[in-house]
């Protein structure tokens, strides 16, 4: 055998566990002065602390039981960006519990997604008013002025409704909410809305209306008990159909916008989760909802603003001066429809991700049943605002708009007595009153 050398190679153990300590190294440590040793110990501890605080799991929410894998894929990273540090901890859980507490006999506990949105705010208030437990969820994105969403949040807070700040794509957060509260129902209203904006930002529609919806259903199917889900589809699924009024039995395979296509996809996804997992699912096709606390991206809203400012408003017309009309539906009628759907929703039949039997699957139109031309809407606003609009008639752009909508609501009437009662004139009067109290009249002459 070759004689042993004193090279470092000699210190590599041939078998794990059989490493023999080199006494000369040991002796060398003994000769390091104590001050130096203390210094190196602090440096070492410092490095450990830095590593700990920089690690992904410690940057996620403080109460989250999750920890990220050590190697993050790009999708993990994008999901990470959805996490906020604003949730978690005993005080947060207490707020969640208090908000979701049922305060009436036979009440239900509802997770309302998109609670800081227009319809979400109104539905949350109506549920709370009758004693149901309500917990909101909203990501407060800036599709339109987030300060309006914050104002709606304050409104809800005053009635004891807490909105958790988070995204429906955040599975860790959703799981946590279902761990704390065994929700009986989910009112799913979080979505990327708007027909025309889909050409500007298509991926946001896929992110919220498809990926987000699937993520929510994944959590719901695994929940025990599984909740019943009522969610917002859209009148836009009728797309290029020409037969009126639109009935739930009509074809919906000709969407005119990506928005419509993602809502239609949602209806098919609902079918799948109902079929495989026994989730009870009800889709509501809303027809151009308007009213106080509404969405600033919608025509009735920004027409009001621009008429008051003396700015021209673009009024679309179809080919050959064809009328463009909508079945504008007042928010209180939509709220009645949402509550009716929640109250008639049957329980999901599965549990823990397994189907135990067939479950309810429904789709309803929620409209007003009397379409009004957009030019008439402008006429009503002119009278209410006492300002003449600067009308700018334009050809209906090819950006997703359809020429008209008109709901047949006989199915919703039969199932839960749905009966809209507010006509456009009355509803716009309430909207204008709210608008002026919230923003001021902002008339050009006032400035
Ligand atoms: O029912 C729905 O499912 C959808 O309703 C709503 O879409 P729409 O019915 O298109 O409402 P909205 O934009 O207010 O335009 C109203 C009318 O004004 C016309 N319009 C619009 C803009 C303009 O500059 N000029 C104009 O004439 C326009 O041609 C239209 O005739 C929601 O935004 C959508 O998220 C979805 O919920």
**ipTM of the complex in this document:** 0.99
Whole-number Cα distances in Å, 164 to 113, 188, 334, 351: 9, 14, 24, 25
pLDDT > 90? residue 215: yes
Q: From the CA of 383, how far away is ligand 1's center (Å)?
A: 21
Over residues 331-358, mean pLDDT: 96
Give dist(CA 413, CA 81) in Å, integer: 43
Tokens of 387: 């300002």
* Residue 365 near ligand 1, beta carbon < 6 Å: no
Q: Is 259 inside any structural domain? A: yes
Torsion of CA 295, 255, 334, 397, to 10 degrees: 40
Q: Is 235 inside any structural domain? A: yes
Name the percent of the chain lying above pLDDT 90.
77
Is the Cβ–Cβ distance between 138 and 119 less than 8 Å? no
The three-class DSSP label of residue 365 is: strand
* Residue 131 near ligand 1, beta carbon < 6 Å: no
Angle at 93 between CA 173 and CA 212, to 5 degrees: 20
Q: Is 428 inside any structural domain? A: no
Q: Is 244 inside any structural domain? A: yes
Q: Which residues are catalytic?
A: 259
Q: Tens of pLDDT along 74-119?
A: 344 344 345 555 799 999 999 999 999 999 999 999 999 999 999 9
| CATH of residue 269 | 3.40.50.720
176 exposure class (CB count in 10 Å sphere: 0-12, 13-18, 19+): buried
Q: Is 130 inside any structural domain? A: no
Angle at 159 between CA 158 and CA 165, to 5 degrees: 75
Q: From the CA of 287, how far away is ligand 1's center (Å)?
A: 10
Q: Is 40 inside any structural domain? A: no
* pTM, 2 dp: 0.83
Q: Is 158 inside any structural domain? A: no
Question: What domain range includes position 209?
Answer: 191-287+330-367+406-421
Whole-number Cα distances in Å, 398 to 280, 299, 405: 37, 17, 17
Q: Tens of pLDDT along 177-204?
A: 999 999 999 999 999 999 999 999 999 9
pLDDT number for residue 351: 84
Angle at 177 between CA 173 and CA 183, to 5 degrees: 145
Give dist(CA 185, CA 441) in Å, integer: 40
Q: Is 377 inside any structural domain? A: no
* Residue 230 near ligand 1, beta carbon < 6 Å: no
Number of separate domains in the chain: 1
């Amino acid at each position: 055998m070759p004689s042993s050398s004193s090279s470092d190679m000699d210190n590599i153990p041939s078998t794990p566990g059989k490493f023999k300590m080199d006494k000369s190294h040991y002796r060398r440590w003994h000769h390091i002065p104590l001050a130096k040793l203390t210094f190196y110990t602090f440096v070492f501890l410092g490095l450990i602390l830095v590593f700990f605080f920089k690690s992904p799991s410690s940057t996620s929410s403080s109460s989250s039981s999750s920890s990220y894998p050590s190697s993050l894929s790009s999708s993990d990273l994008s999901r990470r960006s959805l996490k906020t540090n604003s949730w978690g901890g005993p005080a947060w859980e207490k707020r969640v519990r208090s908000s979701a507490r049922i305060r009436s006999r036979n009440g239900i506990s509802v997770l309302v997604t998109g609670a800081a949105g227009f319809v979400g705010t109104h539905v949350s208030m109506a549920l709370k008013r009758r004693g149901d437990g309500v917990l909101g969820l909203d990501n407060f994105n800036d599709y339109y002025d987030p300060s309006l969403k914050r104002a709606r949040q304050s409104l809800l807070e005053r009635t004891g409704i807490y909105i958790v700040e988070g995204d429906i794509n955040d599975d860790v957060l959703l799981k946590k909410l279902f761990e704390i509260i065994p929700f009986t129902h989910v009112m799913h209203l979080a979505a990327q809305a708007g027909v025309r904006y889909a050409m500007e930002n298509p991926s946001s529609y896929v992110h919220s209306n498809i990926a987000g919806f699937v993520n929510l259903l994944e959590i719901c199917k695994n929940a025990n008990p599984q909740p019943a889900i009522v969610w917002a589809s859209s009148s836009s699924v009728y797309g290029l159909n020409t037969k009126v009024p639109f009935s739930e039995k009509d074809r919906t395979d000709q969407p005119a916008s990506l928005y419509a296509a993602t809502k239609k996809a949602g209806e098919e996804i609902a079918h799948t989760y109902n079929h495989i997992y026994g989730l009870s699912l009800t889709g509501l096709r809303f027809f151009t909802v308007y009213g106080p606390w509404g969405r600033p991206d919608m025509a009735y809203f920004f027409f009001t603003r621009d008429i008051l400012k003396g700015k021209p408003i673009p009024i679309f017309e179809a080919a050959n001066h064809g009328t463009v009309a909508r079945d504008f539906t007042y928010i209180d009628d939509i709220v009645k429809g949402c509550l009716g759907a929640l109250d008639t929703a049957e329980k999901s039949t599965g549990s823990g991700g397994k189907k135990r039997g067939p479950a309810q699957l429904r789709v309803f139109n929620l409209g007003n049943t009397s379409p009004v031309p957009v030019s008439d809407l402008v006429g009503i606003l002119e009278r209410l605002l006492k300002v003449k609009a600067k009308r700018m008639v334009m050809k209906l752009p090819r950006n997703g708009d359809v020429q008209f909508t008109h709901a047949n609501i006989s199915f919703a009437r039969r199932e839960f007595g749905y009966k809209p009662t507010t006509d456009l004139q009355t509803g716009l009067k309430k909207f204008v009153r709210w608008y002026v109290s919230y923003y001021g009249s902002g008339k050009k002459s006032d400035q």
